[in-house]
Amino acid sequence: MEPVAYDKHIKQVLIAQEEIAEAIRQAGRQISTWYDGRPILLVSILKGAFVFLADLCRAVTVPCEIGFMCAKSYYQGTESSGMVSITMDLEQDISQYHVVIVEDIIDTGRTLRDVVALLRERNPLSLRVVTLLDKPCRRKVEFEADMALFTISDHFVIGYGLDCAEQYRNLPYIAEYDTAVDAEN
């Protein structure tokens, strides 16, 4: 993808880098308060949540461990496939941890519903979900995060770990992806 075309897909910045950083500082304080002195496992849902997890774990001021899972529901497009598959699972036995799932965005809710059900079966000490972005207008199943840093409208978003066909994860802010550019080409 050539650089000019890359920039053309950024319709507008929805959440600035500074806003994200402040929200993460507050979330880190809240998680630290929830679990002070108790074993925490922050579980990142890859790939989208890795940037959020990196910043969030540094904002948590009490000891925590991290784990990774990969659950796919988006493939090459901008719409959810409606199918969720776990392509990489945790290595840890979570029965001795307070588990915090760290997600980039909750859209239809299907992915998180399935991941939460899977992890509950493993008997963690407790289980919470913290998401960077919540898009409740797109829910297909009942699901609510324990903490959502930002609630957004029905935009396809990129940046800060979120992608479109594996591009744009490196943007330091959240932007709306301009699908009209694709239609023009």
Q: What is the CATH number of the domain that holds 133?
A: 3.40.50.2020
Residue 31, classed as helix, strand or coil, is helix
* pLDDT(57) > 80: yes
What residue numbers bound the domain in which 29 lies?
A: 23-154
150 vs 126: CA distance, rounded Å: 23
In a domain, residue 2? The reply is: no
Of the pLDDT bands very low, low, confident and very high (cuts 50, 70, 90), residue 11 is: very high
* pLDDT(119) > 90: yes
* Sign of the dihedral defined by the CA atoms of residues 121, 124, 133, 88, in that order: negative
In a domain, residue 97? The reply is: yes
Q: What single-letter amino acid sits at 104?
A: D
* Greater model confidence, 10 or 83: 10
Of the pLDDT bands very low, low, confident and very high (cuts 50, 70, 90), residue 9 is: confident
Q: Which of 34, 26, 32, 20 is nearest to 132 (CA)?
A: 20
* pLDDT(137) > 70: yes
Please confirm, yes or no, whether 134 is among the known catalytic residues. no
In a domain, residue 69? The reply is: yes
Average pLDDT of the residues in 82-101: 88
Whole-number pLDDT of residue 1:
43
In a domain, residue 165? The reply is: no
In a domain, residue 94? The reply is: yes
Of the pLDDT bands very low, low, confident and very high (cuts 50, 70, 90), residue 82 is: low
As a whole number, the mean pLDDT across the chain is 89
Of the pLDDT bands very low, low, confident and very high (cuts 50, 70, 90), residue 80 is: low
In a domain, residue 172? The reply is: no
* Sign of the dihedral defined by the CA atoms of residues 25, 26, 32, 35, in that order: negative
Q: Which of 55, 104, 107, 163 is catalytic?
A: 107
In a domain, residue 57? The reply is: yes
* pLDDT(30) > 50: yes
* pLDDT(79) > 60: no
Tokens linked to 40: 């925490």
Tokens linked to 88: 């990489």
User: What are the b/e assignments for 12-46, b being 16+ CB within 10 Å?
Assistant: eebbeeeebeebbeebbeebbebbeeeebbbbbbb
In a domain, residue 99? The reply is: yes
Q: What is the number of structural domains in the chain? A: 1
Least confident range of 28-37, 93-102, 110-119: 110-119
* pLDDT(66) > 90: yes
Of the pLDDT bands very low, low, confident and very high (cuts 50, 70, 90), residue 108 is: confident
Whole-number pLDDT of residue 76:
46
